[in-house]
Amino acid sequence: MAWDVLNVIGTIAFAMSGAVVALEVKYDIIGAYVLGLITAFGGGAIRNLFTGIPIIDLWQQSSLFIVAFITISIVILLPNNSVALLTKWSIFDSIGLSAFSVQGAMYAHSIDLPLFAVVFSAAITGAGGGIIRDVLAQKRPIVLRQDVYLLWAVFAGFIIGLDFLSKSYQFYILFIIT
Amino acid sequence: MAWDVLNVIGTIAFAMSGAVVALEVKYDIIGAYVLGLITAFGGGAIRNLFTGIPIIDLWQQSSLFIVAFITISIVILLPNNSVALLTKWSIFDSIGLSAFSVQGAMYAHSIDLPLFAVVFSAAITGAGGGIIRDVLAQKRPIVLRQDVYLLWAVFAGFIIGLDFLSKSYQFYILFIIT
Amino acid sequence: MAWDVLNVIGTIAFAMSGAVVALEVKYDIIGAYVLGLITAFGGGAIRNLFTGIPIIDLWQQSSLFIVAFITISIVILLPNNSVALLTKWSIFDSIGLSAFSVQGAMYAHSIDLPLFAVVFSAAITGAGGGIIRDVLAQKRPIVLRQDVYLLWAVFAGFIIGLDFLSKSYQFYILFIIT
């Protein structure tokens, strides 16, 4: 449950941030879809790769794909000046990052990976999509420039890896304070 | 059959475009080989990854490697001014993209992946190599800047995913109109 | 044995070079850890991917992770002007590259891959981490700009792929002359 909710929140936030960045650097409509989808699913894909889940499982998330697709379409249809406002996109980025890093850590922890791998999984699930987005838009990855982002992901990884949390509602709290 | 022909055409076109871009941004000879090979095989490697084929199968395409190697060598040996001409490389890029996207879609369709995955496979097989090439040459990926390219790949994915084509000659037609 | 020694040397050299580049382009502390770890482990991860070893095996190298972590911490704690000196980092880069390319070639050869794959494995293990580092720091990958680097890796791949060496001490010699 907690997993699904975090997944939807993270997907919407990242799809939004990817589409906004694409419009910001003057990519066109297809570029916005590509960047939105990559931002939303890239982190999870890399995490699957490194934790040994068949990457092909990605194709079973069709409802998430639709969610991302609709989100991006809305961003594209927004009038120009509201996109300019959204360009201060860091809010979406941090929402997406905390949702996905909590979820990545939960996942890695649930298959009993060592602590180091849990922390890595939190970091890559949370930050991976944004890093690929920034590379494709020729920007310096924001997570590497601003400490707070990744620190949070690492912190979430530690908390969950060390088993401090066990109930769903605690994951929500962790997400919200993040 | 159609598969093999498309493979050879796409490999030559992309090896060429990778080598030309490398020379354009003043990478040296090894750089031209690396970029040529990555452009030619990168898209297929990512597709294999996402559709669950063992990526190690790549090593069985030795004849294609040789084809790519010879193509790149020819580009390197060309006099400077003809490279300058080739720099208007978009022709190779679009040939490679259409050959590979048709082939990627055929492949994904043949293993019964859902429509969304067929479209993705067309797009990534066609555009993946070029995106990696542009990232390594520090350019904004051309497929994200120019709609037509990816639109074609997505279109080819839909047509094939929806099973409109079933005979070899139709794939050729699809390739040529592309 | 030779494998382990090369692994430790390559890991230290690359973790160092990644952290130095991160500081050079003004990433902060977390950025230095991320870039250091990626440079040290990225090449091996890609090699695992392409040679069919489960990428999850990466997590069993915990002693190497600790080595890399300590190395990066030292670089961060160094006074600014010594980092400025280290910025002429190419020494670490070439040490890491030769250690890892010899090791990558040994590995691919040991599982009986074809010659072409041995050469590729040498090149990607040696150069992969550095390429990802440069892309994330928005620099043109140095191995693509300077022939010598990759030539060495390819050369090491050929030598080992063709079975010219069979004793441990010969690997050390190959590493040192490189």
Which of the 8 DSSP states describes residue A58? Answer: G
> Is pLDDT of B99 > 70?
yes
**Site from B29, B30, B72, B76 to mutate, C interface, most C CB atoms within 10 angstroms:** B30
pTM of the model: 0.79
Q: Name the residue facing C58 among A50, A140, A147 (closest C-beta).
A: A50
A117 in C contact zone (CB under 8 Å): yes
- Three-class SS state of B53: coil
Q: At B4, is the pLDDT very low, low, confident or very high (cuts 50, 70, 90)?
A: confident
In C, minimum Cα distance to B139 occurs at C140
Estimate to the nearest angstrom the gap between the alpha carbon of A79 and the chain centroid: 25
B37 in A contact zone (CB under 8 Å): no
C146 in B contact zone (CB under 8 Å): yes
Place of tokens 């999509």: A129
Are the C-beta atoms of B56 and C121 separated by less than 8 Å?
no
pLDDT, one tens digit per residue, over A99-121 is: 888 888 888 877 777 777 788 88
Q: Name the residue facing C56 among A52, A150, A151 (closest C-beta).
A: A52
Place of tokens 């999850």: C56
Inter-chain residue contact B113 with A59, CB threshold 8 Å: yes
Per-residue pLDDT of chain C (178 residues; tens, 9 = 90+): 566 777 888 888 888 888 888 887 777 788 888 888 888 888 888 888 777 777 666 667 778 888 888 888 888 887 766 666 666 656 777 777 878 888 888 888 777 777 777 888 888 888 888 888 888 887 777 777 666 667 777 777 777 766 655 444 455 555 555 4
Residue B9 C-beta-side C-alpha neighbours within 13 Å: 22
Subunits with at least 3 CB pairs below 8 A relative to chain C?
A: A, B
Instruction: Give the number of other Cβ atoms within 10 Å of residue C54's Cβ.
Output: 9
Distance CA C173, CA B126 (A): 43
Which structure tokens are listed for B78? 């060309």
> Is pLDDT of B148 > 70?
no
pLDDT of res. A4: 75
pLDDT of res. B25: 77
Are the C-beta atoms of A108 and A100 separated by less than 8 Å?
no
Q: How far is B127 from chain C (nearest CA, A)?
A: 19
Subunits with at least 3 CB pairs below 8 A relative to chain A?
A: B, C
C113 in B contact zone (CB under 8 Å): yes
Q: How far is B99 from chain C (nearest CA, A)?
A: 24
Which of the 8 DSSP states describes residue C44? Answer: H
Which structure tokens are listed for C8? 């430790």
Inter-chain residue contact A30 with B135, CB threshold 8 Å: no
pLDDT, one tens digit per residue, over B42-80 is: 888 888 877 777 766 666 777 888 888 888 888 888 776
Buried b (16+ CB within 10 A) or exposed e, B23-60: beeebbbbbbbbbbbbbbbbbbbbbbbbbebebbebbe
Sequence length of chain C is 178
Q: Is the dihedral of CA C153, C159, C163, C164 positive or negative?
A: negative
Distance CA C110, CA C11 (A): 21
Which structure tokens are listed for C36? 């250091």
